[in-house]
Structure 1
Amino acid sequence: MYAIIDIETTGTSYKNGKITEIAILIHDGTGIVEEFTTLINPEQKIPYRIQQLTGINNRMVEDAPKFYEVAKKIVEMTDDRIFVAHSVNFDYNFIRQEFKYLGYDFRCEKLCTVKLSRKLIPYRRSYSLGKLCEELSITNPQRHRALGDAVATAKLFEMLLAIDPNPTEISLQGLNSNLTPQTIKNLPEETGVYYFLDGDKNIIYIGKSLNIKSRVMTHLTNCTTKRALEMKNKVTEIDYEVTGSELIALLLESHEISKHLPLYNRAQRRTMFNHGLFYWMDDDGYIRFRISKLNDEENDTPLTTYNSQVAAKNFLFAITEELQLCQKLCGLYSTKNSCFQYKIKECHGACIGEESPDDYNARAQKLVKRYLYKNESFLVLDKGRSDEECSVVQIENGRYRGFGFAEKDINGFDAISILCDCVKPHTENKYVHSIIRGYISRHPSLKIIKL
């Protein structure tokens, strides 16, 4: 049995958007046998552009039931049924997030009609629901409304079932034959670290993801390179560790790769964080910056890291403009004389000694301070593996001590001591400080406790 679902929302991100309408059609493989649809009060304002798109305005949902009032009905209708939707992750993640607010772990096996359409009816101009309906003569007089789009999805699904009546088996085609479908289905859709093992129980690849199952599926369906094919065909077992926090996942991934040196992590030379931003003081007293590729021989610790040289240079060009730094001293303009920015009067002349080191360094330090710890000893608190837990990262006297997990909202005179005691020691490497600094910089609302 299938639950064909469509929702309308206040935005495109499930992290801050809410559901305004839902439609669920129960399909037995031959036709619709049950139907449920309702507007939902999102308990937040609907943006004007969304009102224009869906036709659902704030007045329409004012007296509609809130999500918790229809949650039981949704669970009953989706229980032990395959969750079907067009671009299924959009609908599934919104509904899963709504249940998460209620303290319920909503899970279903998923089936995406976009992916299924690409396999069964290839070479279409577009696989958006609207374009497919036009090409396949599926009428939908209520586009961008939950019931209208759900009915259209059901008609498309019936066409796909006529081509192949076993769509769940098709969705797993191309995966490694050494892995059972149940192994894939059991993978969590949570943040954490995953491990690929070969037939001899050797760890051959370690990765991190905000959604372990989704990332693993990407690996196992990747046939674009010889190395990707070789790796996926060696995988006989998948292990994982849920972390809840992306920061913990990044630190654990870094630690585990350094510890195990998996074959395919070495082969790819770290696609993540492969370039660093470094700084030093030159002989004339000016702070200088450079972008360099990270390698095992590099002794200096970067201020922060990037996943490509292009990303690093784009950042540095932007920051030189913002802080009026010299492109020559930032390694962006190679010359023996003044930099180009000086010629157009956007550089104060540090490149040729016209601006004093003190004046120039006062601005350069603003960039350095963005990535240096504000406190030498502190704790970083982030999400845990459940709503009752938080993660803890400890820096002691400027050195990385490790991370752990503790009960959320610990109070009392010994709260800090309890948090410190939960931290398990982990070895420092050249990546951890740039990971922590970068994460703190990108997440200014993180809870930092001074020690």
Structure 2
Amino acid sequence: MYAIIDIETTGGQPAQDKITEIAIFIHDGEKIVDKYNTLINPQRPIPYFISNLTGITDEMVKDAPKFYEVAKEIVEFTEGKVFVAHNVRFDYSFIKKEFADLGFTFQRKTLCTVRLSRALIPGLPSYSLGKLCKSIDIELTQRHRAIGDAEATAVLFDKLIKINRPVVDGNMNMAADNTTQVLKEEIKTSLLPPNIRKEQVDALPMVPGVYYFYNEAGEVIYVGKSINIKKRIIQHFNIDYKSRKSLDFKNSISDITYETMGNELVALLFESAEIKRMKPQYNRQQRRSVFNTGIYVYEDGNGYKRLTFGSVNKADNVNMTPIIALSNQFKAKGFLYHKVGKYNLCQKLCDLYKTNGACFDYQVHQCQGACVGKESPEEYNKRVDAAIESFTFEHNSFVIIGKGREPGEKSVVVIEHGTYLGFGFVDETFSAHNLEDFKGAIKRYNDNKDVQQIIRGHLRSKHKDKVIVFD
């Protein structure tokens, strides 16, 4: 049994928008046997542009039941049935969220008629509901109303499951079995993007690397990395729909490729380089620096070296280069508090205690008085310099040797005079006597604050890589 469903909502984000109408058509595998439709009071205003699109107004839903008042009927209509919809993740995610708000877990097998249409009627110019119905002569009335779209989807579903598949050896049962098998496969893979086949996902490796999503035009639209490529990509496809943008992203994925990297460090470094090189459409956050807050040092009028923090793009810092960059101001403040404690610095001179007088630590005898001129700039600045020294790599020139992409191979990451030069792969029998030998084994990549932070984070982790120092 199948429950073919369509909903209308106050917007495109399940986390904050609500359902305004739901329609359900029950199909027993042969024909439509029942239906259910109701407006729903979303308990919030419907945006004007949404009312323009759907025709559903605040006045229309004013006396309609609230979701909790129809929840039991929805459960009963869908229980034991496959949840069918056109772009199923949209409708399914909204309904799951509505039930979650009531403290109820709504879970059904799902089937997407976009994927099913692509499998059974390949080669059409578009699989949007309106254009698909026009292509195969399905009447679509009351467009953008749940009752109209659900009915059209139900008729589409009926046509799809009754398509005469090619007869094998004159056996008509073979044709029916073929369509049934397609249905079973599509239920299993309903969470995949419409253009991605199960075989593509099954063939993905479970190793560290970088993966690429492409659109139908062959353009890279997203670059990601993982210590397990297959697992991460399946997570992409299985997460609940959060917004219209995330649904558009998922539906636009038409191909997947990958590069194995052997370990997480080189995967992170390569991902960062590829995002900056390709600037994929859906990597907007990552193609800009993810380290947006800098730690800066300057000398004040009294000769004290002062540490502060602020946006790496802030106009005030246009003539200043950050010593280190972190992801946000909260982490920057935490970082500075740690250095203040470790190197006995002044909170006030590190922009952590706003006052015209002494800082709090001085009042409890934990600051030596630089904030009120009790400690000389020369003595105080020695500790600031020691703190700054700890911001950078522990060693000036070094090589990180990690796991390679296959047995008998190692990865090599080279840093010279504090600058990241790049990475490469060598045979485990590779013999190097100096830094120059390692430099000859890598591919050069640009140094930037992002990769510096990646390497620092890796060195602070409980890694098992070998570090060779050339200071």
* Fraction of identical pairs, as percent: 38
CA contact (8 A) 1:288 1:330 kept: yes
1:345 aligns with 2:365: yes
1:305: Cα distance to partner? 4.0
1:182 aligns with 2:199: yes
Match of 1:381 in 2: 401
Match of 2:164 in 1: none
State the SS of the aligned residue for 1:317.
Answer: helix
Matched pairs, number: 293
State the SS of the aligned residue for 1:395.
Answer: strand
Give CA-to-partner distance per residue, 1:352-402, whole Å, 9 cap, x none.
322223333333334322332344433222222234222112223443321
- RMSD of aligned alpha carbons: 3.5
State the SS of the aligned residue for 1:329.
Answer: helix
Which residue of the other structure, out of 219, 222, 225, is the alignment partner of 2:236?
Answer: 219
State the SS of the aligned residue for 1:195.
Answer: strand
Which residue of the other structure, out of 280, 291, 296, is the alignment partner of 1:262?
Answer: 280
Give CA-to-partner distance per residue, 1:238-266, whole Å, 9 cap, x none.
22222122221222122111111112222
The aligned amino acid for 2:203 is N
1:433 aligns with 2:448: no
Match of 1:249 in 2: 267
Residues 414 and 359 from structure 1, CA distance in 2 versus in 1: closer, same or farther, beyond 3 angstroms? closer
Correspondence 1:389-408 to 2 at 5 A: 389-408=409-428
1:195: Cα distance to partner? 1.6
Match of 2:116 in 1: none
CA contact (8 A) 2:420 2:452 kept: yes
Structure 1, unmatched stretches of 5+, are 1-117, 126-165
1:124: Cα distance to partner? 7.1
Correspondence 1:153-302 to 2 at 5 A: 172-222=189-239, 223-267=241-285, 272-295=290-313, 302=322
1:219: Cα distance to partner? 2.4
Give CA-to-partner distance per residue, 1:47-101, whole Å, 9 cap, x none.
xxxxxxxxxxxxxxxxxxxxxxxxxxxxxxxxxxxxxxxxxxxxxxxxxxxxxxx
Match of 1:328 in 2: 348
State the SS of the aligned residue for 1:263.
Answer: coil
Match of 1:447 in 2: 467
CA contact (8 A) 2:435 2:470 kept: no
Match of 1:311 in 2: 331
1:419 aligns with 2:438: yes
Correspondence 1:130-149 to 2 at 5 A: none
State the SS of the aligned residue for 1:277.
Answer: strand
CA distance in 2, matches of 1:365, 1:288: 10
CA distance in 2, matches of 1:295, 1:351: 28
State the SS of the aligned residue for 1:361.
Answer: helix
Residues 428 and 167 from structure 1, CA distance in 2 versus in 1: closer, same or farther, beyond 3 angstroms? same
1:327: Cα distance to partner? 2.0
1:405: Cα distance to partner? 0.8
The aligned amino acid for 2:269 is L
State the SS of the aligned residue for 2:337.
Answer: helix
Deviates more, 1:318-327 or 1:202-211: 318-327
1:406: Cα distance to partner? 0.9
CA distance in 2, matches of 1:299, 1:264: 32
CA distance in 1, matches of 2:319, 2:448: 10
1:268: Cα distance to partner? 6.1
The aligned amino acid for 1:290 is T
Give CA-to-partner distance per residue, 1:291-336, whole Å, 9 cap, x none.
3344599776544443443333333323322332222222222333
CA distance in 1, matches of 2:262, 2:424: 12
1:450: Cα distance to partner? 1.0
The aligned amino acid for 1:187 is L
CA contact (8 A) 1:175 1:220 kept: yes
CA distance in 2, matches of 1:448, 1:187: 34
Residues 404 and 340 from structure 1, CA distance in 2 versus in 1: closer, same or farther, beyond 3 angstroms? same
Residues 407 and 178 from structure 1, CA distance in 2 versus in 1: closer, same or farther, beyond 3 angstroms? same
The aligned amino acid for 1:286 is Y
Structure 2, unmatched stretches of 5+, are 1-95, 106-182
Correspondence 1:41-190 to 2 at 5 A: 172-190=189-207
Which residue of the other structure, out of 367, 378, 391, is the alignment partner of 2:387?
Answer: 367
